[in-house]
Amino acid sequence: MSDDTLKIQLPEDRIPSHWYNIAADLPVPMPPPLHPATHEPIGPDALAPLFPMALIQQEVSTERDIEIPDQVRDIYRLWRPTPLYRARRLERFLDTPAKIYYKYEGVSPSGSHKPNTAVPQAYYNRQEGIRRITTETGAGQWGSSLAFAGAQFGIEVDVYMVRVSYEQKPYRRALMETYGARCVPSPSTETEAGRQILARDPNTSGSLGIAISEAVEMAAQREDTHYALGSVLNHVLLHQTVIGQEAMVQLEMAGDYPDVVVGCTGGGSNFAGIVLPFLGAQLRGGPAVKIKACEPAACPSLTRGTYAYDFGDTGHLTPLVKMHTLGSEFVPPGFHSGGLRYHGMAPLVSHLLDQKLIEAHAYVQGLCFQAGVDFAKVEGILPAPEATHAVRGAIEEALLCKASGEAKTILFNLCGHGHFDMQAYTDFFAGKLTDDAYDADALAASLSHLPQVA
Ligand SMILES: *Cc1c(COP(=O)(O)O)cnc(C)c1O
C-alpha cells in the first residue's frame, strides 16, 4: 500500500468464509431469554413457530466460527467485500493528527448493512420450506433488504412499516414493492395488536415495538410463514460480523490497527458487525480497543435505559430478554433516524456495556446532521441519518486527538447512504429539525411497567 492510500478493496475471494461468534470468547456468558409467563429460560422449541431451526441454533451457539453457506456467499458477491476508505479529506478538514478510516456498507443493493443478514435469513427459511416471511421496518432499510433477499429465494415478504416513516419515506416503500414485497403502514387494522393500539391512539406515529407485534402475530398464525428480525437477535449480529472481519484484513493491508472503533446503535447490529471481530481479538489477548456506541439522544436506550428483562415488542408477544431498555411502551419522538427508534438494545450489546467492554454516547440529531453534511462535503458520500451518529462520534474522537496531539487510528462504520432520506436533509437545511428530548415523564411511566423478574 502506498502512503496516500484512499480506498482499500479486497478481491471477491476474500469474502469471509465464516461468521464470527463472540459467544465463544465472552468472559461471562449472556443472561438467557425467559418465557414471558413462567420466567424460566426458554428452549429452542419455543422459537420454532417463528424462525428456522438453523437460525435458532445460531442464536444459542457457542461455536466460534460458523460457516457461511456457499449460496449466501454467492449473493454476498453482488456487493462484498465492501470498500474501506481512509478519510484523508475529513482529517484535513478537521485538522486532526488522527487517522480516520470508514467501512462503507452503502454499496449493498438496499444501501446499508442489512442485506448481510437478510440474505442468510431468507436462505435458511427457504431451506425449511417457508413460503412467506413477515417483518417490521422503521426507516425502510430492513424492509427493502428483506424484500431483496426474498426475491432472491422466491419467498413472499410482508412488511409492517412504522407509520411515521411510511409517510416520510415513500421511495423506500416503492423499493420494497419493486422487489415484490407488500408494505403496510403500522399500526394497521390487519392485526389484533394493531387494532388495539389504534383504538387507544388513532393518530399514533407508530413504533418498531408495535410493528414487531404485528409481524409476529401474522407469522404465528400460519404454518408456511415465519418472522424475521433485522437487528437485536444474536444471529443477526453474527451475520453482520463480515463487516469487521473484512475491515481487519483491509486495515492490515494499510499497516494499521484501530485504537478506537465507532458505530451507531439502533438495535445494535451494524455496531456489532464492525466491533465484534476486534473485541474478540482483544478478549483472546490481542490489542485493546476503545469501542464507542453512538445513539440518538431522543431514544437513548444504552445511556438512559434500565438494564433489565423486558419484552422486545409493545404487544408483549416476544420472550423476555435482558437488555438496556426504555420500556416496551416507550414511543420515541418522531425524529429522522427511523432506524434508531427502537425502545431496547441487542442483549449482546447490552451485556458488553454491562461488562464495561464498550462505551455508549448519546447525540442530538442537529449535531449529527451537521456532521453528516460536513462529511458529505469532503468525502462525497452522503450518510444515512442513522450513520451520521457514527460520523459524529468519530469526529468527536478526532477532535480529542487534535486537542491532545495524539495520532490515534479511528475506524467507524458508515453503515448506509442517505439517498432515500433527503427529506431529512431538506428539513435540516430549512432549520426544521428540532433536538426534541424524549418525554421524561413518559419514559418514567414506561420504565415503571417493566416486567418483574426475580
Ligand atoms: C437499520 C439501520 C440502523 C440501525 O440498526 P442497527 O441494528 O443498530 O444497525 C442503522 N443504520 C442504518 C443505515 C440502518 O439501516
Length of the chain equals: 454
Rounded Cα–Cα distance for residues 363 and 358 (Å): 17
Counting from 1 in the atom list of ligand 1, the atom nearest the Cα of 236 is 7
Q: Ligand 1 pocket check: which of 105, 141, 240, 265 to mutate, most ligand atoms within 8 Å of Cβ?
A: 141
38 CA distance to ligand 1 middle (Å): 32
CATH number, domain of 94, equals 3.40.50.1100
Q: What does the block give as the cell for 281? A: 481479538
Strands (E), 316-407: 320-325, 359-363
Q: What is the DSSP string of 138-194?
A: SSSHHHHHHHHHHHHHT-EEEEEEEHHHHHH-HHHHHHHHHTT-EEEEES-SSSHHH
Q: Is residue 377 part of a domain?
A: yes
Show the cell assigned to 313.
Answer: 415488542
Do the Cβ atoms of 49 and 219 come closer than 8 Å?
yes
- Domain for residue 276, yes or no? yes
Asked if the structure places residue 150 within a domain, the reply is no
pLDDT per residue as tens, the chain (454 positions)? 556 889 999 999 999 999 999 999 999 999 999 999 999 999 889 999 999 999 999 999 999 999 999 999 999 999 999 999 999 999 999 999 999 999 999 999 999 999 999 999 999 999 999 999 999 998 899 999 999 999 999 999 999 999 988 998 899 999 999 999 999 999 999 999 999 999 999 999 898 889 999 999 999 999 999 999 999 999 999 999 999 999 999 999 999 999 999 999 999 999 999 999 999 999 999 999 999 999 999 999 999 999 999 998 888 888 999 999 999 888 777 667 767 878 899 999 999 999 999 999 999 999 999 999 999 999 999 999 999 999 999 999 999 999 999 999 999 999 999 999 998 999 999 999 888 778 888 899 999 999 998 7
CA-270 nearest atom, ligand 1: 9
CB 114 within 8 Å of CB 241: no
E strand residue ranges, 276-332: 290-296, 306-311, 320-325
Domain that holds residue 94: 7-15+67-111+235-448
Query: Would you say 450 and 140 are in contact if contact means Cβ atoms under 8 Å apart?
Result: no
18: β partners: 67
- Distance of CA 378 to CAs 262, 381, 386, Å? 19, 9, 19
Residue to mutate (ligand 1; options 108, 113, 363; most atoms within 8 A of CB): 113
Residue 421 located in a structural domain: yes
Asked, for residue 431, whether it belongs to a domain, the answer is: yes
Query: Is residue 454 in a domain?
Result: no
CA distances from 204 to 172, 193, 198, 342, 424 (A): 20, 13, 7, 15, 20
**Domain total in the chain:** 1
Residue 46 inside a domain? The answer is no
Residue 316 lies in a domain: yes
For residue 339 and ligand 1, the question of a CB distance below 6 A is answered with: yes
Q: Residues 6 or more apart from 381 whose CB is under 8 A from it? A: 104, 106, 375, 414, 417
| Secondary structure (DSSP) of 410-446 | EEEEE-BB-TT-HHHHHHHHTT----PPP-HHHHHHH
Cα distance between residue 395 and residue 220, in whole Å: 44
Establish whether residue 265 lines the binding site of ligand 1, counting it when its CB lies within 6 angstroms of any ligand atom.
yes
Which residues on neighbouring strands pair with residue 160, listed in sequence order?
136, 184
